[in-house]
Amino acid sequence: MKTRYIIGGIIIVVFLLVAVFSLVNTDIEYSDFSKARELDGKKIQIKGQWVREKGSEYNSEKNEFIFYLKDENNEIAKVIFSGSKPNNFEIASHVVAIGKYKDGIFYSSEILTKCPSKYEGQKYTP
């Protein structure tokens, strides 16, 4: 009876250890462009704001969406996202781009757009 619990316990502990190990290995760090340069080529995510003034463009042949992102240290970098313009991109209060930084360009494989939920942020004008 006791040995069964011990064996079960060991299995669970080993499982969890391996899980944590792989968790740390597959993690995608929140970062900014300056850190991204250091981590050259590692997959990271950057939270920032779309630089509206610089516009955005979509290249339909390459299926790339290109825009400029200002990170939380106000550094601006070009982002090439492999995909079309994400839903809610224009109204997003901020954007999280997941990808790799290379030679001054952030190559993004995934973009999350954060909306002011249900437009609650919208100002009521009496």
Partner 1 sequence: MFNFIGDFAIVLNYLLFITSFLSVFFYLKSISEAKFLSLARYGLYITNSGIILISFILLLLIINHQYQYIYVFNNSSNDLPFGLLLSTFYAGQEGSFLFWLLCLAVIGIFLQNFTKKIGLESSVMSTFGIVVVFLLLLLINKSPFEKIWSLYPEAIRTGIPPVGANIINISSTQWVMIPPDGNGLNPLLQNFWMQIHPPVLFIGFALMTVPYAFAISSLIIGNYKNWIKYSLPWLSIASFFLGAGLVLGAFWAYETLGWGGYWGWDPVENSSLVPWIFSVALLHTAITQLKTGGLVKTNLFLTIITFSLVIYSTFLTRSGVLQDASVHSFTEPGSAVYLLLFIFLLSIFILGLGLLLYRIKAINSEKSEYNLISKEVMLSLGSIVLSLSALIILAGTSYPIFSKSAVDVSFYDKWNLPLAFLINVINGLSLVVGWGSDLPKIILKKIIISLLASTILTIISYFLGVIHFSMIILIWSSFFAIFINAEKLFRNIKLGIINLGGVFSHIGVALLLIGVIGSGKYSQTKHIELPLNEEKEVFGYKFKYIGEELFDSNKKSYFKVLVKNSNDETILKPIMFVNQMANGLMKIPDIKEMITKDIYFSPIGLKDFESNENVTNIQLKKDEPYQLDDMTLIFESYKIDMEKMMMGGEFSINASVKVLKNNSSEILNLSSTFDKNGPKYTPVKTSDGKYEFVLQRVLKDVVPLLNLGYVKLTDDITAKPKEILVADISIKPAINLFWLGNLLMLFGFILAYIRRKREVKNIRD
User: 89-95, long-range: CB within 8 Å, 24+ apart, which pairs?
Assistant: 89/50, 89/56, 89/113, 91/115, 91/116, 91/119, 92/50, 93/49, 93/121, 94/47, 94/48, 94/49, 95/47, 95/48, 95/49, 95/50, 95/69
Choices 12-20, 67-75, 99-107 (CB under 8 A): range interacting with partner 1: 12-20
Q: Is 10 in the site for partner 1 (CB under 8 A)?
A: no
Count residues near partner 1 (CB under 8 A).
46
Q: Which residues pair with 117 in a beta bridge?
A: none
CB of 117 to partner 1, least distance (A): 4
CB of 83 to partner 1, least distance (A): 8
Choices 69-77, 99-107, 108-116 (CB under 8 A): range interacting with partner 1: 108-116
15-47: burial string, b at 16+ Cβ within 10 Å, e else: eeeeeeeeeeeeeeeebbbebbeeeeeebbbbb
The 19-48 site mask, x for binding partner 1 (CB under 8 A), equals xx-xx--xxxxx------------x-x-x-
Tokens of 2: 């006791």
Residues in 59-98 that interact with partner 1 by CB under 8 A: 59-61, 63, 84-85, 87-91, 96
Question: Which residue ranges make up the site for partner 1 (CB under 8 A)?
Answer: 8, 12, 15-16, 19-20, 22-23, 26-30, 43, 45, 47, 52-55, 57-61, 63, 84-85, 87-91, 96, 112-120, 122, 124, 126
